[in-house]
Structure 1
Amino acid sequence: MSVTEAWDAFMALLESEAPATARSFRPGATAAAVDAAERATGLSWPKELREFVTCQGGQREYAPDAAEPFGGQILPAQDMFGLDQILAERTMMIEVWQGIIEGDAEYFPGGYDGVIAAHPHAGSRAGAFLPHYIPISGMDGYLYFCDLRPGEAHGSVRAYYQDASDDDSYTWRSITEMVTGLRAAIAGGSAVDMWEPRIENDEVFWQPEGSGDQPARPTQHTPGRLVVHTGYDAPPADALARPFESPGADIDAIAHAVRAAAEAKYGAVRVSGAQTNLRWIPQIPGFVADCRATVGGIVMPYAAVITDTPSEFLVVEIPSEGASFER
């Protein structure tokens, strides 16, 4: 299936189920405009990317006096870009990262060119926005971009997060897969990057996965909360009051364990970061360290229980009902 065929099938679905969203898209670019944009980036665009920007020209910008000021979104919390916005967003992101890197020569000794050279293969995380990234959608510092570096993941669609830069791998292998996947998700109500689609007032909108069905998180112990049996007695109440008596647990090892647990459940493609909520954690078996992992752009709570083996932790995801920890 070509990009055009996938897009036409997607628009047919929207025209039937969410016509306001279908009407929100501007006409696509001409072949001449795509040629000019490609030359402006200095990159060779894959056929799918060229075809995609001729299918659609992005969504209408908000206009207070418009009859339909908002048409919904086919991507979670992002607007699709037209050709001009693609170029403008790419230019801005390159300038931002040039400034960041040039302002920290100690951390980036090779400068922006060094970062580019150190990450030559598509799909690999650079920890920055590279010139080979073509943003196709975005909002508030969050983007989906087409990775044009060479390699097996050339042309894949990846995520960029404001607080974590580029993701570790691709979200979709190709633009066709993205369009087909979004159509299937909206038709079936299935989640994309932990966001669920809904259709109301002829528009597609997205909400955090499960937010429409799960109860508010309780603040006290209830029978419905997760009970975690740690195998250890509760740590002393003053465990955090004496941070200089020992080197404490390995913060980086805890974060790695939390990330590994999140990736095992959601896949590495969705997990963009993990960390603890404290700068120092006592190496006391049974101590519960509050942590978090970013899954599909959503920060999710985790807990890591310290064990009597410094490099091993009991990691659990905290459900909306909360959790209690017992021996």
Structure 2
Amino acid sequence: MSVEQNWLRLHDWCLGEAPITAAAIDPPAGQSVVDEIEASTGRKWPTELRTWFGLQNGNPGGRHSALIFPEYQPLPLDRVASVWASMTALWADTTEAVGGLSLLDEPAGEVAGTYLSAYIPIACNIQGDLLFVDTRAGKSSGCVRGFMGEDNDQGERWPSIDALLEEVVASLEHGHPCRGWVPTIEEGWLHWEFP
């Protein structure tokens, strides 16, 4: 499928089964906003990443009712920019200590042990963990990975945004766990439990 098709499946499922979650996701921002945020990161974004923000603009209020991914809610573009800036600044010394700018030349998907400017955040959870798209070059360019506390960039991984959406929507449509997380509905919003 495609990002567009899987987002439509996910959104339609939420409209029918979890309308509060569906309502918590903002409509897409204008293309000029996507261009502006992309430029602020100094990275060329993969087409799927640009498409993702052309379909929705995350959960601007940070309401817990927008957990469309297990444990994670999508970030709006303004938060993408601020989280990206704060994370690259916070991890700058570590980045320098473990390889500096040369880490940007490593293939996408390779663990760097730090937060790189090539990592574009797309979702977060209440612990401050992130899902990000790795924009480095290579056959895994555009993969989605997790950045989680002391484990830094060694978290979960999907080959693309489309693959992430496909896995989540298949879990919802068929009622089976997604990487151990079980979807449930509570008063109109999607909730994920880890038994």
* TM-score relative to the length of structure 2: 0.91
Change (3 A) 1:109 1:196: closer
- 1:259-295 per-residue CA deviation (whole Å, 9 max, x = no partner) reads xxxxxxxxxxxxxxxxxxxxxxxxxxxxxxxxxxxxx
Compute the RMSD of aligned alpha carbons.
1.9
Sort the Cα spacing of 1:70 and 1:135 in 2 relative to 1 into closer, same or farther, 3 A.
closer
> Hey, what does 1:207 align to over in structure 2?
193
Aligned to 1:155: 142
| Amino acid across the alignment from 2:91 | W
Distance 2:23 2:79 in 1: 19
In the TM superposition, 1:1-327 aligns within 5 A as 1-62=1-62, 70-101=64-95, 108=97, 110=99, 112-114=100-102, 116=103, 120-139=106-125, 140-167=127-154, 171-208=157-194, 211=195
- 1:192 offset after TM fit, Å? 2.6
Q: Residue 100 of structure 1: CA displacement?
A: 4.0
How far apart in 1 are the matches of 2:56 and 2:98?
41
Q: Is the 8 A contact 1:155 1:174 kept in 2?
A: yes
Shift of 1:49: 0.6
Aligned partners of 1:146 and 1:155 also within 8 Å: yes
In the superposition, relative to structure 1, how do residues 126 and 101 fare at CA in structure 2: closer, same or farther (>3 Å)? closer
Cα separation, partners in 2 of 1:93 and 1:70, compared to 1, 3 Å: closer
Look up the SS of the partner of 1:166 in the other structure: helix
Which amino acid is 2:77 matched to? L
Inter-CA distance 19–120: structure 2 relative to 1 (3 Å threshold)? same
Question: Aligned residues, how many?
Answer: 194
Matched residue SS, 1:134: strand
Shift of the 81–109 alpha-carbon distance from structure 1 to 2, 3 Å rule, reads closer
Q: Which has the higher contact order (CA 8 A, sep 6+)?
A: 2
How far apart, in 2, do the equivalents of 1:158 and 1:101 lie? Answer: 18
Residues 22 and 66, structure 2, Cα contact 8 Å, conserved in 1: no
Aligned 8 A contact 1:145 1:159 in 2: yes
Find the aligned partners of 1:129 and 1:121 in 2 and give their Cα distance: 15
5+ long unaligned stretches in structure 1: 63-68, 103-107, 212-327
- 2:18 corresponds to which letter in structure 1? A
Name which of structure 1's ranges 49-58 and 179-188 shifts more when overlaid on structure 2: 179-188
Moved more, 152-161 or 4-13: 4-13
Report % sequence identity. Answer: 31
Structure 1 counterpart of 2:53, which letter? V
Shift in CA distance, 32/60, structure 1 to aligned 2, threshold 3 Å = closer
Return the alpha-carbon distance in structure 1 between the equivalents of residues 53 and 98 of structure 2. Answer: 37
**Residue 204 of structure 1: SS of its match in structure 2?**
strand
* Deviation per residue, 1:80-126 (Å, 9 max, x gap): 10111111111111011014456xxxxx275x335x25x61111111
Unpaired segments ≥5 residues, structure 2: none
Rounded to whole Å, the distance in 2 between the matches of 1:128 and 1:190 is 33
Distance 1:124 1:11, change over 3 A: same
Q: What SS does structure 2 have at the residue aligned with 1:191?
A: coil
Q: Which has the higher strand share?
A: 1
Could you tell me which residue of structure 2 aligns to residue 266 of structure 1?
Answer: none
> Contact 1:122–1:152 (CA<8 Å) still a contact in 2?
yes
Instruction: Give the ranges of 4+ consecutive aligned residues of structure 1 lying more than 6 Å apart after TM superposition.
Output: none
Note the C-alpha offset of 1:54.
1.4
